[in-house]
Chain A
Amino acid sequence: MVSLSSIPYPFFVNDMKKASELTSGMSASVLGWSDDAEVGRFLELGILKGSRIEILRSAPFRGATYVKTEHGNYALREEELAQILISI
Chain B
Amino acid sequence: MSAEKSRQSQIFLAGTPNSGKTSIFNRLTGLRQKVANYPGVTVERHSGITQFQGKDYLIHDLPGCYSLYPVSADERVVLDSFLAQSREKKKELVVLVLNASQLQRSLLLLSQIVDLGFPVIAALNMVDTAEDESKQINMERLKTMLEIPLVRINGRTGEGLDELMNLISTGDISLRSPFISHSHYDSVTTRDVQEQVGLDNIYAASLLACQHGKSVYIGTRQFLAMKEAGIFHPIRAEVEDKQERIVALKNLLKGVEERVGQERRLIDKVDAVLTHKLWGSIIFLAVLFLLFQLVFAWATPLMETIDGAFAWIGESLSKVLPESALRDLLIDGILTGIGGIVIFIPQIALLFGLVAILEESGYMSRAVYLSDKLMNKAGLNGRSIVSLISGVACAVPAIMATRTIGNWKERLITILVTPFITCSARLPVYLILIAFIVPAEARFLGFSMQGIIMFGLYMLGALTALVSAYFLSRIIKTKESSFLMLELPAYQKPQFRNVLLTVYEKCKVFVFEAGKVILVISVILWALSSYGPRADMAAVDIVVQQEVDAGIINFDEQENELAARKLEASYVGQMGKFMEPVIAPLGFDWKMGIALVTSFAAREVFVSTMATIYAAGSADDDGRIISLLRNEKDRITGEPVYTPVRSLSLLLFYVFALQCMSTLAVVKRETNSWLIPIAQFIAMTGMAYLASLFVFQAFS
Contact = CB atoms under 8 A, between A and B. Distances in A.
Interface string B67-104: 10101000000000000000000000000000001101
B102 A46 contact: yes
B508 interface: no
A63 B185 CA distance: 40
Contacts of B276: 57
A75 to B, nearest CB: 4
Interface residues of A, number: 34
A61 B280 CA distance: 13
A71 B104 contact: yes
Nearest to A58: B277
A77 interface: yes
B385 interface: no
A81 B461 CA distance: 35
B108 interface: yes
B487 interface: yes
Size bin of chain B's contact surface = 35 or more
Given A7-B240, A40-B235, A48-B246, A64 B487 contact: no
Contacts of A40: 67, 69, 235, 238-239, 242
Interface string A47-71: 0100000001111111110100001
A62 B236 CA distance: 33
Contacts of A74: 485-488
B374 interface: yes
Given A4-B236, A46-B105, A58-B277, A41 B369 contact: no
Contact of A75 (B67, B278, B372): B372
A43 B243 contact: yes
Interface in B223-272: 235-240, 242-244, 246, 272
Contacts of A44: 66-67, 69, 105, 108, 242
Given A41-B71, A41-B483, A71-B105, A7 B243 contact: yes
B154 interface: no
Contacts of B278: 60
8 contacts: A1-B184, A38-B483, A40-B67, A43-B246, A60-B281, A73-B487, A76-B484, A77-B484
Interface of A: 1-2, 4, 7, 36-46, 48, 56-64, 66, 71-77, 80
Interface of B: 66-67, 69, 71, 101-102, 104-105, 108, 184-185, 187, 235-240, 242-244, 246, 272, 275-278, 281, 365, 368-374, 376, 382, 483-489
